Structure 1
Amino acid sequence: MRTAGEETVASCPQCGVDIRTDKRFTIWCAACDWNVDPQGPGEEKRGLDRARRRAAQRYGERLFTELRGGGAGGEGSGGRRTVSGSLAYALALAVHGVTLALAAVGVWGLVAGWGGLGMVFGVFFLALAWSLRPRLYRLSDDDRVLSRGEAPELYALIDEVAAAMGTRGVDAVVVDVDANAGVTHLGLRGRLLTIGLPLWEVLSPQQRIALLGHELGHFTHGDTRQGMVVGTAWRSLSTWLYYVQPMPDPNVVQAVTNLACVPLRLLITGVMALLDLLTAQSSQRCEYLADAAAARIGSTEGAVGLMDRFLVTDSVVTTLQRETNGRRMRGRGQASGQGADDLWEVLAAHMDSIPESEYERQRRVGALRGHSVDASHPPTHLRRRLLLDGTPVPALVTADTVRSERIAGELADLRGTLAREVVRDGYGNV
């Protein structure tokens, strides 16, 4: 084995060809895939999450073939209601109907049992119905919100992306420390964009625009799972499931209660699985269409680069954990978060230094494992291939150096605050 700087040159023990790779990353052979996935697939998740991932991979592969062949499902079809989508809405309304029925029973208990024990019965059912009510997303005191007045250039960019897509922008932007981004409805009519600073910091300007195009694409293509009816029903079912979870280390009475809750728990899990199955294919289609929007708005190159960054988000997490733990062990920032000024620069520098060989390895591992961002997304390697198989398109929206610097200036205070908190508390605890 020969080493020059960060580059390592060795012979593949399986096929004998020279392997050139960065010694900071896994040594593998591109010719025969030796050691491409040394850790293996790991322990498979169980239960509903496993079913969701399998459905995501199955539908993702099917839709990839359909969209690649130019079949139904072009960019304009995402908002069309399908039979499964209509059934999902009906099931979600039934879930909300149960909540309404509980509220009605509670009111009846109060009225019929006024002044007696029946009032306890009524109050219980009213409290249960209140906890299961459809809850729209509201901003909390813990959310780091950037207003239009604080970040006019960022909002102007979002509005430009939205206009190019034929939709409107967002009403609020929240910045957090997750290596991700997302959109959701805010109240009845509002829109919220959440930007994970660790992801934003490692993207190029065009990749950021592609990210904005992708996220706003969920609004333009009518993602059922993120809609108010189905989304709130899923949260109600999750609350139900929380209530009937078995109590750990039960005594005799608790053991009997756990046993009595088994049928209800199975019923709730079955309804959640059915709701997930009914929305899986439309959700997968929306992801592919949002990717197409990302390419159209931020260029094919920007959208493909974004896919590559998604493949190595584990490196984002690992780097932040290493940096924050190291600084805390050295006594920097344990109390006040001092010494965090260059945290995001160190993260971006590390991500920029990842060699192409590591990206290619992650792509192959993703194909082997069926990697996806989460259980609701199609396999990342298929999303990337679909973008590359199409005709490359230039960006409709661009960000020059001046614009990028203005946006960075608007984020500067939050960058510093979040960096100090991450160093002080450790990544994953903020």
Structure 2
Amino acid sequence: MLDVARETRQQCPECGTEIRGDSRFAIWCAACDWNVDPEKPQPDGGPLDRAERALARRHGERLLDEMMSGQALRPRRDASAVAATVLALLVHGVTLALAVLGVWCVVAGWGGVGVVAGAVLLVLFWALAPRVRRLPDDRPVLFRSDAPELFALVDEVAHAVGTRSVHAIVVDGSINAAVTTYGVRGRRLLVLGMPLWEILTPEERIALLGHELAHYANGDTRNGFVVGTAVRTLALWHHTLQPLPDPSGIELAVNALYVLPRLLVRGLLVLLVRLTSRAGTRAEYLADRLAARTASTQAAVDLMDRLLITDSLAVLLRSEANRAALGGSRSAREAKARADELWGLLTAFAASIPEHEYERQRRAGARRGHQIDATHPPTHLRRACLLAGESLPAVVPPQDHRNERIATELAAARTEAARRLLRDGLVD
């Protein structure tokens, strides 16, 4: 059940100011920031993550200055992006060379030794080869015939941000949204996390679509097929070359042989991240700007505030999934009713979150900076960039009749997403 908000009062142990808070959230002092970030999540300490955070810190505020001055209003395929693409092609060239060498060894034979060596090389090639994404078969997939009104909205938003629309929409239980491609022809796919979609206003939903579709318009190199699959290949190599734990004598020798290749692969990974970091950060700022142009500046800012409470939403959803598991099996009718009830609980909880909790999250995010998420600029910088510019009106305003039709089109997927959340928990 939804926890009831209860007002609390206490004195700040640091400055003595009276604190009024909500018992469901962290109690903190707005006057001196006491307890503003009690969780203090620890970032991953891997070398690649440290490199990403260092580069994100270096580029974040510099790009903010450029955005505010109008110097970075257009996506640029600069020398770093070109170098990243060349490096990624070299990585894929090595992968292709494994296939060629493997076939040659198999054909040569060499009394059976070549066949074994060739088979090993071909298995390596298969493991490292770029993968073409397929449409998921475990989540609802909508096409134009399934949801014409939703696709009409997506088409309108895509036109507003200056790009082509999507071919399919996947609905899942993540508190997120994303765009990607699938198939050999690189068809476009929008992923809508129903928990996030449910708590947003119609204006915020348009801002969300504008931000995600803007990534197609911006040409984000890091998320492209060539560079993205090269990063995956290098990461797989780096994982494979990790030292063997508790090594025996022979394994010690193997670990020693791994040192130089592992350092080389790590260096290539860090270099690829360095080359794409600035472009990736710029793409987020540009996506925010296009979202504001599409749905209005206020809607884009409100959307970012909503993203601050995703951890609280995740706690509620996990709690409801645990309750469903303890409740045991239900009839199909009861399961559907429970699934529909979940969205009511979620939206009521989101609506009940007080402003001082949003403010705490903003201040905590400003303190953390790039410590946790190196792929997006910190929210306080993104908000500052939007609020410093001209306040833009909506190009694509919401329409009541369209909202109702979209709700009808999403009804079955909405229920299925809730059922999966109650059965399996959150989607990563």
Give TM-score scaled by structure 1 length: 0.91
Match of 2:393, as an amino acid? P
Secondary structure in 2 aligned to 1:342? helix
**Residues 1:165 and 2:164 aligned together:** no
Shift of residue 383 of structure 1?
0.5
Match of 2:355, as an amino acid? E
Aligned match of 1:391: 390
Shift of the 196–253 alpha-carbon distance from structure 1 to 2, 3 Å rule, reads: farther
Match of 2:138, as an amino acid? D
RMSD: 2.4
Query: Hey, what's the Cα distance between the residues in 2 that align with 1:174 and 1:93?
Result: 30
Retained in 1: the 8 A contact 2:53–2:370?
A: no
Secondary structure in 2 aligned to 1:235? helix
Aligned match of 2:46: 46
Q: Identity of counterpart residues, as a percentage?
A: 54
Shift of the 29–116 alpha-carbon distance from structure 1 to 2, 3 Å rule, reads: closer
Give ranges in structure 1 of 5+ residues lacking alignment: none
Give ranges in structure 2 of 5+ residues lacking alignment: none
Retained in 2: the 8 A contact 1:167–1:220?
A: yes
Match of 1:166, as an amino acid? G
**Residues 1:287 and 2:284 aligned together:** yes
Shift of the 40–372 alpha-carbon distance from structure 1 to 2, 3 Å rule, reads: closer
Query: Hey, what's the Cα distance between the residues in 2 that align with 1:321 and 1:127?
Result: 39
Query: Hey, what's the Cα distance between the residues in 2 that align with 1:130 and 1:44?
Result: 29
Match of 2:307, as an amino acid? F
Shift of residue 407 of structure 1?
1.1
Q: Write the deviation string for residues 11-69 of structure 1: whole angstroms up to 9, x where unpaired.
A: 33333333222222111111221221223354653321232123223211111122123
2:315 to 305, 313, 318: 318
Query: Hey, what's the Cα distance between the residues in 2 that align with 1:92 and 1:352?
Result: 45
Query: Hey, what's the Cα distance between the residues in 1 that align with 2:380 and 2:196?
Result: 19
Aligned match of 1:368: 367
Query: Hey, what's the Cα distance between the residues in 2 that align with 1:405 and 1:332?
Result: 32
Aligned match of 2:135: 139
Query: Hey, what's the Cα distance between the residues in 1 that align with 2:35 and 2:239?
Result: 41
**Residues 1:214 and 2:221 aligned together:** no
Query: Hey, what's the Cα distance between the residues in 2 that align with 1:170 and 1:150?
Result: 14
Aligned match of 1:61: 61
Retained in 2: the 8 A contact 1:337–1:422?
A: no
Shift of residue 404 of structure 1?
1.3
Q: How many aligned residue pairs are there?
A: 422
Shift of residue 154 of structure 1?
0.9
Secondary structure in 1 aligned to 2:381? helix
Q: Which moved more, 1:232-241 or 1:91-100?
A: 232-241
Aligned match of 1:348: 347
Shift of residue 130 of structure 1?
2.4
Match of 1:198, as an amino acid? P
Match of 1:136, as an amino acid? V
Aligned match of 1:358: 357
Secondary structure in 2 aligned to 1:345? helix
Query: Hey, what's the Cα distance between the residues in 1 that align with 2:182 and 2:107?
Result: 35
Give TM-score scaled by structure 2 length: 0.92
Q: Write the deviation string for residues 223-269 of structure 1: whole angstroms up to 9, x where unpaired.
A: 01111211121122223233323444555544543443232222212
Aligned match of 1:90: 86
Match of 2:264, as an amino acid? L
Secondary structure in 2 aligned to 1:14? coil
Match of 1:291, as an amino acid? D
Retained in 2: the 8 A contact 1:371–1:380?
A: no
Secondary structure in 1 aligned to 2:410? helix
Aligned match of 1:304: 301
